[in-house]
Structure 1
Amino acid sequence: MSTCTARVLLCLSEKGLEYDWCRSTRCRREPISNNLIHLPFGQIPAFEDFVQTFALLSESRAICKYLLRSSSFTESSIVDEWMEAEAHRFIIGQIIVIPAFQLVPDEKVIGTELEKLGKVLDVYEERLSKCRYLAGHYTMADMNHIPCLFYFMKTPYATAVTSRSPSK
């Protein structure tokens, strides 16, 4: 269910990269087992690259950027911009994360999140009306949105945001 893990798996799959999957038993904020203690923030997914150089990363977006750095600086910067938009503007914690932990979401916060998300989707609509993909062609900028959108579209709030007219 981890959108972060799904993001990394999508990236690995799209790049056609081979990897070893090591499943963690960590779930629902349980203490970190000894084999994960070396992670700076103690979170999953974690990524180690022993082929090129030793790299230990634990932020899903950083892992994906590491895997995708074969493009030009300009292209990488455009992809980074849209990945940052997803990370910081695509706010749906009360709608997806809180219920996933069987906690009661705050409807007032959900209203605020939906209002902000509507404005963000207006920007996306404008961009995607000019080209099919966020960075001009299919990249991690597009893939990065899939895990959250997958869960969001299963909520009753999806129709409220996707059926409205763009605000001007």
Structure 2
Amino acid sequence: MFVLLHQPFGQIPVLEDGDLTLFESRAITWYIAEKYKESGSDLIRHADMKEAALVKVWTEVESQQFNVPISTITYQYLIAPTLGKPTDQALVDENVAKLEKVLDVYQERLTHTDYLAGDFFSLADLHHMSFIHYFLKTPKASLITDRPRVKAWWDRISARPAFTKFSVNMRYDF
């Protein structure tokens, strides 16, 4: 009931912070990053306008280019079967082609930097973490693991202590 009262689409996540109610995961992460920027982890890079702009660019790439194909593939392999639905292989194939193009761009980008926006961990990297975590449990995991720089980037971001602690509870077997 809480979600229906605070999120017009009836979905999670929802964040209440005092009298402010937010929904949509990216909006929530931006808000938290802004609110706690002085805590020692400036995930937006406020001190450098160029770095901040690159964080924004790569968060947009995640949202507009990466998220749809990886979420579609992940859904088809991990969620659809739990709902008694067959995997739509044509849809998987279509989205594999899209994801390959994005990951090829990432492979090239990560030739020059350790993380997507630069040589620093940012929201651009954080926004990728949950779907890659689940995607690696699909038959298409090699799209990540066969790209050495993408895999090294994933290994770096997924080894972060907070993610290591959190990911233990990230199940997909609903």
Letter in 2 for 1:77: A
* Residue in structure 2 matching 1:123, options 83, 105, 108: 105
Counting aligned pairs with the same residue, the percent is: 40
Please give the TM-score of this superposition, normalised by the length of structure 1. Answer: 0.68
**Counterpart of 1:105 in 2: which secondary structure?**
coil
Q: Which runs of 5+ in 2 are unaligned?
A: 38-44, 149-174
Deviates more, 1:127-136 or 1:82-91: 82-91
**Counterpart of 1:92 in 2: which secondary structure?**
helix
* Residue in structure 2 matching 1:93, options 71, 74, 94: 71
Instruction: Please report how far the alpha carbon of residue 75 of structure 1 lies from its aligned counterpart in structure 2 after TM superposition.
Output: 3.5
* Contact 2:107 2:147 (C-alpha < 8 Å) held by counterparts: no
* Residue in structure 2 matching 1:49, options 4, 11, 17: 17
**Counterpart of 1:57 in 2: which secondary structure?**
strand
Please give the TM-score of this superposition, normalised by the length of structure 2. Answer: 0.65
Distance in 2, matches of 1:74 and 1:49, equals 30
Match of 1:60 in 2: 25
* Residue in structure 2 matching 1:40, options 1, 4, 8: 8
Match of 1:141 in 2: 124
When residues 131 and 140 of structure 1 are mapped into structure 2, their CA distance, relative to the original with a 3 A threshold, is: same
* Structure (1 or 2) with the greater helix fraction: 2
Which structure has more relative contact order (CA 8 Å, sep 6+)? It is 1
Q: Which runs of 5+ in 1 are unaligned?
A: 1-32
* Contact 1:128 1:134 (C-alpha < 8 Å) held by counterparts: yes
Task: Report the aligned-residue RMSD.
Answer: 2.2
